Structure 1
Amino acid sequence: MSEFTLTQDSRESDKLPIEDLAHYLTDKMPEFIQSKQLHIKQFSAGASNLTYQLTSSENSVILRRPPSGTKAASAHDMVREYNVIKNVGAFYSLSPKPLLLCEDESVIGEKFFIMEQIIGLGIDKNLPIEMSNEQQLKLCKNFVIGLSQLHNIDINSKELSHLGKPEGYVERQLEGWQKRFTKAKTDDVGSSEKIYQWLSSHLPKNSGYQSLVHNDYKFDNLILDPDKPENIKGVLDWEMTTLGDPLLDLGCTLAYWVNADDDAGMQAIRMMPTHLAGMMTRQQVFEYYCSLRKIESFDLAPYYVFGLFRLAVIAQQIYYRFYHGQTDNPKFSKFGQLVNILLNKAEQEIA
């Protein structure tokens, strides 16, 4: 009989070996699990790395681990993500505090890390609570401010300078995402070749700007203040953070931003409430970003098209796992359609 009181609310295929984890935490984080109780709840949001809330008595922390099955190693490097938030935290107050890194795969079958839980409201396809148009606009402004602040951090510090190689970043990104799409392609999705060729000749190889790039900065990676939901308390999911071109980071952010006047296909795959009356449009986000960073306006189209292309590849990598039976998460069953809509939108933008 276990010495612990253990409960778990996770998808069957994603369940953690809870007793092994409880013993490990007793050794490594005794202050957290001193009550001998552990409850695990898997968060349904997110389609890449898996996220769980661990609760013992009144204490809660977050565990992050890679998914099962074939996966892109660079997108699921727990050691790197742990070190990123550890180093970025000294310069960016919205990143979560890391608590523990486990590189021993015998504990739960994968490397994992534990970080603080930032208490607040999350955003998904809808706002978590009703917000006025004025609050929506303020949230958008704070969102863009958060991105611009990240891009303004001095990357020459010893804590950050090793996180990536900004020289040649754009070329590596374009080539890398095309290779990933080719590797993960299934018969029921379209081709990316036309988009790739257009980007090869239109996407600036060097914008003249270098910065820390989050690479997944979007509404559903935010934690909002419950009392003032237009204010941001935290930014999550730092797994793809590196040093690179901030304008490419902006384009990737805008790929998720569906305007109210976008076509039915884009409305169907909308993941965040950017269509609401009080929200900024993509163009307004772009203009506000340029004003905050005091940079001259530039042709956004290649960066936005790249963002759509990259998002299509990310979705295809996830769909590949579902297509080949490596995950049973039903929400991934429609990701092939998502890929085709994104590819079609990118082709419309370059027509």
Structure 2
Amino acid sequence: MTAAPDQARAVRDEDAFDIARVDAFLRQHIGGLEGTPTVKQFPGGASNLTYLLHYANRDLVLRRPPRGAKAKSAHDMMRESRVMGALKASYPYVPAILARCDDAQVIGQDFYVMERLSGTILRRDLPAELGLDRDGVRRLCVAFIDRLIELHQVDATQGELRELGKGEGYIARQIAGWRERWRQAATDGSDPCDDVMAWLDANQPARDNASCVIHNDFRFDNVVLATDNPLDIIGVLDWELATVGDPLMDLGSSLAYWVQADDDPVFQSFRRQPTHEAGMLTRREVVAYYGERTGMDISHWAFYEIFGLFRLMVIIQQIYRRYALGQTTNPQFAGFGDAAKYMGMRCRRLMASKG
């Protein structure tokens, strides 16, 4: 059961940067680099952008924000790299940070460079060469959830990690913050969603459990599978949104992307990971498994599920706003306005079913 490592592609014109300047900077911070680097871009990258730097003797990965308008506090490369550095000792699946750059004269934006974890990253469908049957898919799914549980078990009071949290009131802060982002991301014809935001205000838990490190974007396309064993998750990527917060908020955010086999055709069209495959747990089964493994009370799951969808709606609309303003020309973003409206409708369906 082997598969080719995740393949980088030619850099999109709008995402190009000065390779020579980056090379000069890296040689001051990383010893032993040989040759002139070539640069390719990894697929995805609707938020931050990720590149493969290939030197004669080693591969590196560079992360930087997109050009154009950004939400306040989003795309903070220095924060992301500090979080990764602080977490590495307790959660070995974090790639090692090799260099950070906050000098705008290099490429005009902050960026960092990390080790490359060579392996398979799942996209929309499972590669046939993985050779996974129904049982194998189920074991992969469980391993994925277990990695999230392991993260939530990290001691968040140690070292720099304790500086991430702001204490009690995490859920209320999240609702207020994502409400403000939604309003700032509005475009002509977008859904106001006042009713969804009011429901979240009225139904938030009386107390939250803002006590553990959470990833906030835990998806199959942010984990790396070992090339020789797809059931072995060797890395977790994209720590931009990581913080100390409520673990069920993290699970809700993850399951907002979880399109399963019996979902409607519109939601199926949004699928970006192979969660529809035979053997994958359903959203309900994931939540039940998480509750059994952790002992957490999941009786008020509706709030976390609807918040996760609302949060994803905001992210989609933020990206669409950049497209609508001409700050990105990536054609995959053209339909994001309609996708955000659908997410609002999906929230309302769940709200109605919960009374």
TM-score calculated relative to the size of structure 2: 0.93
Question: Which runs of structure 2 are paired with 1:305-320 in the superposition (5 Å)?
Answer: 305-320=306-321
CA 46–166 in structure 1, closer or farther in 2 if over 3 Å, else same: farther
Contact 1:122–1:222 at 8 Å: present in 2 too? yes
2:44 corresponds to 1:45: yes
Letter of the 1:227 counterpart: D
**Cross-structure match for 1:286:** 287
Contact 1:85–1:97 at 8 Å: present in 2 too? yes
Question: Which runs of structure 2 are paired with 1:93-172 in the superposition (5 Å)?
Answer: 93-128=92-127, 129-172=130-173
Contact 2:121–2:221 at 8 Å: present in 1 too? yes
CA 222–183 in structure 1, closer or farther in 2 if over 3 Å, else same: same
**Cross-structure match for 1:88:** 87
Question: Which runs of structure 2 are paired with 1:128-277 in the superposition (5 Å)?
Answer: 128=127, 129-208=130-209, 210-277=211-278
CA 262–25 in structure 1, closer or farther in 2 if over 3 Å, else same: same
TM-aligned CA deviation for residue 209 of structure 1: 5.4
Letter of the 1:253 counterpart: S
Determine the C-alpha separation between the residues in 2 that align with 1:97 and 1:116.
6
Question: Which runs of structure 2 are paired with 1:50-65 in the superposition (5 Å)?
Answer: 50-65=49-64
CA 287–179 in structure 1, closer or farther in 2 if over 3 Å, else same: same
Letter of the 1:145 counterpart: D
- What are the Cα deviations for residues 95-149 of structure 1, in whole angstroms up to 9, with x where unaligned? 1111100111110110100001111001111123442111110111111111111
- What are the Cα deviations for residues 46-66 of structure 1, in whole angstroms up to 9, with x where unaligned? 210111000011410100001
Give the % identical residues. Answer: 42
Moved more, 18-27 or 120-129: 18-27
**Cross-structure match for 1:5:** none
Question: Which runs of structure 2 are paired with 1:285-304 in the superposition (5 Å)?
Answer: 285-304=286-305
Moved more, 231-240 or 206-215: 206-215
Letter of the 2:11 counterpart: S
**Cross-structure match for 2:336:** 335
5+ residue gaps in structure 2?
A: 1-8
Determine the C-alpha separation between the residues in 1 that align with 2:245 and 2:28.
39
**Cross-structure match for 2:326:** 325
Contact 1:180–1:313 at 8 Å: present in 2 too? yes
Determine the C-alpha separation between the residues in 1 that align with 2:38 and 2:58.
10
Determine the C-alpha separation between the residues in 1 that align with 2:206 and 2:309.
18
5+ residue gaps in structure 1?
A: 1-7
TM-aligned CA deviation for residue 189 of structure 1: 2.4
Determine the C-alpha separation between the residues in 2 that align with 1:72 and 1:260.
33
Determine the C-alpha separation between the residues in 2 that align with 1:255 and 1:10.
29
**Cross-structure match for 2:23:** 22
- What are the Cα deviations for residues 76-95 of structure 1, in whole angstroms up to 9, with x where unaligned? 10110010000010110111
Determine the C-alpha separation between the residues in 1 that align with 2:330 and 2:62.
19
Determine the C-alpha separation between the residues in 1 that align with 2:299 and 2:150.
19
TM-aligned CA deviation for residue 181 of structure 1: 0.7
Determine the C-alpha separation between the residues in 2 that align with 1:130 and 1:310.
35
CA 183–124 in structure 1, closer or farther in 2 if over 3 Å, else same: same
Contact 1:167–1:244 at 8 Å: present in 2 too? no
SS in structure 2 of the partner of residue 171 of structure 1: helix
TM-aligned CA deviation for residue 277 of structure 1: 1.1
Contact 1:214–1:240 at 8 Å: present in 2 too? yes
Determine the C-alpha separation between the residues in 2 that align with 1:209 and 1:84.
17
SS in structure 1 of the partner of residue 159 of structure 2: coil
Letter of the 2:106 counterpart: V
Contact 1:64–1:113 at 8 Å: present in 2 too? yes
Determine the C-alpha separation between the residues in 2 that align with 1:280 and 1:308.
19
Letter of the 2:242 counterpart: T
TM-aligned CA deviation for residue 227 of structure 1: 1.6
TM-aligned CA deviation for residue 322 of structure 1: 0.4
Determine the C-alpha separation between the residues in 2 that align with 1:111 and 1:267.
36
Determine the C-alpha separation between the residues in 2 that align with 1:131 and 1:49.
31
- What are the Cα deviations for residues 298-340 of structure 1, in whole angstroms up to 9, with x where unaligned? 2211101000000000011111000000011111111112111
TM-aligned CA deviation for residue 191 of structure 1: 2.2
Contact 1:220–1:272 at 8 Å: present in 2 too? yes
TM-aligned CA deviation for residue 187 of structure 1: 1.5
TM-score calculated relative to the size of structure 1: 0.94
